[in-house]
Amino acid sequence: MVNAIVTGASRGIGRGIAQELSKTHKVLATYLGSLSHAESLKSETGCEIFQCDISKPADRAALIDRARELFPEGLDLLVNNAGIAPRERRDVLDATEESFDELMATNLKGPHFLTQLAARWMLETARGRIIFVSSISAFTASVNRAEYCISKAGESMSRMVFAQRLAHEGIQVFEIQPGIIRTDMIAKVEKVYDEKIAGGLLPQRRMGEPSDIARVVRSIADGHLDYCAGQVIHADGGFHLRSL
């Protein structure tokens, strides 16, 4: 059996990833908040669930300890998916340090240091794959959620340094940059995005679904991109393309 950790897996993109991986992997899926969503995932897929605040060092350590219990043969895949948006969208001139610190802790520090723990474990078996699920916000400036963009840009660099460090050890690191994906994170502005997409924002005239991201994870998990160390996959309907 191949083994995987998926963080932030009870809803949205993470849930789609856990659903896909559960077909072939033994999955340890983390959640924070709604136990009912996590339990429904477990019932549906057979995933093990584990409550974890990725921003807290003790929770990250406990997650790896639990994974070692479940996966004595080693860890094959870590999917860093857990992340949060600002509690309130505010202009960069009005945004608070509290919001900045909260997003950095969850979106950047959390996955960075969880990857450190997972990579040390993977080195014991000289195998493994690591995925950072970031965002088009890693390269797209939104002045009303600057802290989110900065956290995702930092996560992109985290992918680069781990990829550089681990490639020769047989451990591959990737980044998926989702675009506008239909999840509860964008529920309040979904209508606005639908209108922008209809107006030509995306070359592919549709919003993404969690299953679109899950299929990219599947390609990585199955080893199809193993000669693409450090690669970024744009899963954004063509948003990253530039045209005149």
Edge-first strand order for the sheet with 48-51 is 48-51, 25-31, 2-6, 77-80, 128-133, 171-178, 232-235
Residue 188 CB neighbours (<10 A): 10
pTM: 0.96
140: helix, strand or coil? coil
pLDDT at residue number 68: 98
The one catalytic residue in 31, 148, 193, 227 is: 148
pLDDT at residue number 82: 98
pLDDT at residue number 123: 98
Per the listing, tokens 């993109």 go with 13
Torsions phi, psi of 50, nearest 5?
Answer: -150, 125
- Which sign, positive or negative, has the C-alpha torsion 241, 202, 84, 19? negative
Give the Cα separation of 179 and 202 in Å (integer).
9
Catalytic residue flag (residue 31)? no
Torsions phi, psi of 3, nearest 5?
Answer: -120, 145
Q: What is the DSSP code (8-state) at residue 181?
A: B
List the chain pLDDT tens, one digit each, 244 residues: 899 999 999 999 999 999 999 999 999 999 998 899 999 999 999 999 999 999 999 999 999 999 999 999 999 999 999 999 999 999 999 999 999 999 999 999 999 999 999 999 999 999 999 999 999 999 999 999 999 999 999 999 999 999 999 999 999 999 999 999 999 888 888 899 999 999 999 999 999 999 999 999 999 999 999 999 999 999 999 999 988 7
pLDDT at residue number 188: 82
In the chain, where are the structural domains located? 2-235
Domain 2-235 has CATH 3.40.50.720: yes
